[in-house]
Structure 1
Amino acid sequence: MDKSRSLVADALERSGVRVQTLVLLRWIAITGQLATIAFVGLYLQFPLPWAALISAIAAAAVLNVGLATLYPRNARLEGREALLHLMFDMAQAGIMLFLTGGLTNPFAVLLLVPITISATLLSARAMLLMMALGLTVLVIESRMPLPLPWRGAPIEMPEIYHFGIFIAIANGMIFIAGYVWLVSAESRRRAQALIATQAALERESRLSALGALAAAAAHELGGPLGTITLIAHELVEQLGNDPDFGDDVRLLEAEAARSRAILVGIARRAEAEDPFPLLTIDALLHEVVHGVTPSRVPIVIDTAQAPELRLRRTPELLHGLNNLVSNAVRHAGSKVEIRLEANSSEIRLRVSDDGAGFDRELLPHLGEPYLGPSRSRSGSTGLGIFIATTLLERTGAHLEFGNRPHGGARVDIRWQRSHIEATTPLNVP
């Protein structure tokens, strides 16, 4: 679990936007701005403040060239750097609008673009800073812009119209930024939690591969050890009765033979072992419990209804159950119970404790990654339960979370018997 959290933290630190992506987006904006003022000023013959407009566009172009030059193509802008660049884009768009009519300019809606991009990349605090800048730009655009370029006298819009445009764009900023941030934050949390899930699976897979590694090591060491054994045997024949070296060479031969026997035994056990062996449910649950020992409270296992029920010991099943039992042990008052029930169609497993139980506000959200302090009063992120849910659902399980009537939390896990039960013979040595 510590490694899972480390990977998640690393993913959090590396969130941001690639320099290449930001450069491309800004070149698109610059091209659009140049095309627009060229069409309006040269084709429509509207008067424009050319020097100021070209200067604003040139500033964006210079920044883009510097960004593309100073950073590698695959570098990422994160945190404060990404915020500063998006703030520049907002300010540059505000200057362009200020010079061409402010909120009466139909292109005022493009102020939403930097806000929307920031909502997909930045933290909540950074996004609020972008929102504050955007609203400030809106106020300036609504109060003191230069006139909208027009043939003849500039159009005078009613004050109520200016106010309506201001409210519309401000609401668009708030709604779009909030909606996009919530959706992207949920996506990031799920992606980060899946990184932790993958790390847990990789850990279990590596443990399962140790047997194969032991077999390979035994075969590789067999050759050199055979040579050592042969030489030791010849030394015994020649020096076995020597008063100075006899005892040493006999000991050398005995230890070489012992080492060879150990390697042969390791190789045989590893080759005979299935990476995902069949176990009775009773043996599997005891292995899960052993993984959380020493436990601060007793863990009672009841498999009386189907003690010989056979399951395949997969990393998903083992690690998912281990997470649920560990969570129950952490919050239990005096004991944890694991109870198995089975009928002809279903297998049901309940993990329960006698602690305070799940928060009522938290129950509908269990299984989601990173619940956050606003939902979890205990300060838990919910990552462990999310990992357990994800892993067990891969085995075909359906999970339900609740509280026991007389106190304590419960997790009910249900499988279709035909889906999870192993039907091949159980290898018993």
Structure 2
Amino acid sequence: MERPSIAAAAFDRPSVRVRTLANIRWIAIFGQFITLLVVGLWFEFPLPWGSLLAAVGASMILNIGLSTLYERTDRMTGRELSLHLAFDLIQAGVLLFLTGGLANPFALLLIVPVTIAATLLRARDMGPLVALACGVLMVVWLWAQPLPWAGPPPEFPLVYRFGMLIAYALAIGFLAVYLWMVSAEARDRARALVATEAALTREARMNALGSLAAAAAHELGGPLGSISLIAHSLEEQLGDDPDFGDDIRLLGEEAKRSRRIMKELSTRAEAEDPFAVLTLDLLLHEVAQSVKPTRVPVKVMADPPQPLVQRSPELLHALNNLVSNAVRHAGTEVRMESIVTPSEIRIAVLDDGFGFPPDLLPRLGEPMLGPSRSKSDSTGLGVFIATTLIERTGGRLAFSNRPEGGARVDVRWPREVFEVNEPVQGQEEY
């Protein structure tokens, strides 16, 4: 089983630096302390100073502990982070409980820990925090101390106070769900883009290795020829020598063997990377050959004349993904069709399987779809990689189900963008 990359693990477990969390809390502590000074000393509103300062002091002690126990580069994830955000939520709730509850204008700050959690935590860690926020709301709504005021505090009607409760609860729930969905989508897309870059780098590296092998075979051919010639001359002169004859013959045989290996490497490299520019039907045949052997045949259908296209790692890997996916789900056959019009170049990949699940069809091309209902454990990452790579070449993908059964993928390019107006390597112009 392939081990997940470091980047993938980072996306699966989003985290925040402890120092960042501590700095945010210091800002909150400073704001709370200044607010208490302004309200209590400037406006001279009666405040329960002891309880309020104890709540602010508890937050200060926790922050000092974070700075002492953790290094500057340490990061916090998962349950540990959710516990710290839960503390911030409860501490804010205590301050509101002592200063008027939801009638306090600063009650809006209860949303802050939840929004931070929605951007950093997974659903299973964020859910309990949202429930805690709703519980804190209910407590401060029912049993909060009167709002500090010069004289009798204002009395709000029950309907108005109930409306405030519902408004805060909806705000917390909506922001939590919205931010979590946006953050999760961003993480999925970033994870998929990392996989795309890795696939493209691997494809380019393989092409580079083929070119390197061809170059090495060409450069080493001369020295090995000289060695073979010298070994042959020595064998003619000293072949019967009891001390050196066997070594000289072995030298000649190893030189011949090395030349044969170099020739095979050169032939293989030329087969793997024959042309930088080639006709579209040849490119499709290369893709079809790259997925063999398969349980079903892959047929290429292309009517001449075919346009010249760039043989790029992006295009090869994308088409290989699409054809491999079709082969995996096909019944008896996979077809690749080339359709060329005056304004467009199109490649269609068709199979005769069960087709795309109707509920996933509108979402194909998105990263991390989750297991589908088509008896497959696919997450949609391969299709996303193909879509991203095709878009890099200027093309667009469209997914559909065939009326007679099976799936169809159409890849379209504007002809002026995709076609290369130069001859194939080795072909003369007249």
TM-score (norm 2): 0.89
Q: Following TM superposition, by how much is the alpha carbon of 1:257 offset from its aligned partner in structure 2, in angstroms?
A: 5.5
1:66-145 alignment to 2 at 5 Å?
66-145=65-144
Summarize the Cα distance change of 1:309–1:193 in structure 2 as closer, same or farther, 3 Å threshold.
same
1:199-278 alignment to 2 at 5 Å?
199-214=198-213, 236=235, 239-256=238-255, 258-259=257-258, 263=262, 277-278=276-277
Matched residue type, 2:365? G
| Match of residue 384, structure 2, among 386, 399, 416 | 386
Q: Matched residue of 1:423: which SS?
A: coil
| Aligned counterpart, 1:185 | 184
Q: Following TM superposition, by how much is the alpha carbon of 1:231 offset from its aligned partner in structure 2, in angstroms?
A: 8.5
The reply to whether residue 297 of structure 1 matches residue 290 of structure 2 is no
The reply to whether residue 331 of structure 1 matches residue 329 of structure 2 is yes
Cα distance in structure 2, aligned partners of 1:203 and 1:374:
27
Matched residue type, 2:78? G
Cα distance in structure 1, aligned partners of 2:2 and 2:201:
11
Q: Following TM superposition, by how much is the alpha carbon of 1:379 offset from its aligned partner in structure 2, in angstroms?
A: 4.7
Summarize the Cα distance change of 1:333–1:28 in structure 2 as closer, same or farther, 3 Å threshold.
same
For residues 162-211 of structure 1, the C-alpha deviation after alignment (integer angstroms, 9 at most, x for no partner) is: 21211110111111111111112211111111111111111101101103
Q: Following TM superposition, by how much is the alpha carbon of 1:5 offset from its aligned partner in structure 2, in angstroms?
A: 6.3
Cα distance in structure 1, aligned partners of 2:271 and 2:378:
42
Summarize the Cα distance change of 1:269–1:372 in structure 2 as closer, same or farther, 3 Å threshold.
closer
For residues 353-393 of structure 1, the C-alpha deviation after alignment (integer angstroms, 9 at most, x for no partner) is: 11111122222111111123588885532111111111111
Contact 1:305 1:342 in 2 (8 A): no
| Aligned counterpart, 2:360 | 362
Cα distance in structure 2, aligned partners of 1:133 and 1:292:
53
For residues 1-56 of structure 1, the C-alpha deviation after alignment (integer angstroms, 9 at most, x for no partner) is: x8696566423334222222212211111111111111111111112122221221
5+ residue gaps, structure 2: none
Cα distance in structure 2, aligned partners of 1:28 and 1:352:
59
Q: Matched residue of 1:209: which SS?
A: helix
Summarize the Cα distance change of 1:69–1:276 in structure 2 as closer, same or farther, 3 Å threshold.
farther
Cα distance in structure 2, aligned partners of 1:104 and 1:404:
61
Q: Matched residue of 2:397: which SS?
A: strand
Summarize the Cα distance change of 1:291–1:18 in structure 2 as closer, same or farther, 3 Å threshold.
farther
Cα distance in structure 1, aligned partners of 2:169 and 2:271:
69
1:19-38 alignment to 2 at 5 Å?
19-38=18-37
Summarize the Cα distance change of 1:270–1:380 in structure 2 as closer, same or farther, 3 Å threshold.
closer
Q: Following TM superposition, by how much is the alpha carbon of 1:152 offset from its aligned partner in structure 2, in angstroms?
A: 2.5
| Aligned counterpart, 1:403 | 401
Contact 1:209 1:275 in 2 (8 A): no
Cα distance in structure 2, aligned partners of 1:266 and 1:402:
42
Q: Following TM superposition, by how much is the alpha carbon of 1:258 offset from its aligned partner in structure 2, in angstroms?
A: 4.9
Contact 1:7 1:195 in 2 (8 A): no
TM-score (norm 1): 0.89
| Aligned counterpart, 1:173 | 172
Cα distance in structure 1, aligned partners of 2:8 and 2:217:
39
Contact 2:397 2:410 in 1 (8 A): yes
Summarize the Cα distance change of 1:150–1:317 in structure 2 as closer, same or farther, 3 Å threshold.
same
CA-based RMSD of the aligned residues comes to 3.1
The reply to whether residue 63 of structure 1 matches residue 62 of structure 2 is yes
Q: Matched residue of 1:352: which SS?
A: strand
Matched residue type, 1:386? F
Q: Matched residue of 2:292: which SS?
A: coil
Cα distance in structure 2, aligned partners of 1:323 and 1:123:
30
Q: Which moved more, 1:281-290 or 1:270-279?
A: 270-279
Equivalenced residue count is 427
Summarize the Cα distance change of 1:24–1:198 in structure 2 as closer, same or farther, 3 Å threshold.
same
Q: Following TM superposition, by how much is the alpha carbon of 1:267 offset from its aligned partner in structure 2, in angstroms?
A: 7.5
Matched residue type, 2:383? I
**How many percent identity over aligned positions?**
59
Cα distance in structure 1, aligned partners of 2:139 and 2:44:
27
Contact 1:303 1:340 in 2 (8 A): yes
Contact 2:45 2:149 in 1 (8 A): yes
| Aligned counterpart, 1:46 | 45
| Aligned counterpart, 1:279 | 278
Q: Following TM superposition, by how much is the alpha carbon of 1:239 offset from its aligned partner in structure 2, in angstroms?
A: 3.9
5+ residue gaps, structure 1: none
Summarize the Cα distance change of 1:362–1:83 in structure 2 as closer, same or farther, 3 Å threshold.
same
Cα distance in structure 1, aligned partners of 2:336 and 2:219:
44
Matched residue type, 2:385? I
Cα distance in structure 2, aligned partners of 1:261 and 1:422:
37
Cα distance in structure 1, aligned partners of 2:29 and 2:275:
58
Summarize the Cα distance change of 1:371–1:13 in structure 2 as closer, same or farther, 3 Å threshold.
closer
Matched residue type, 1:422? V
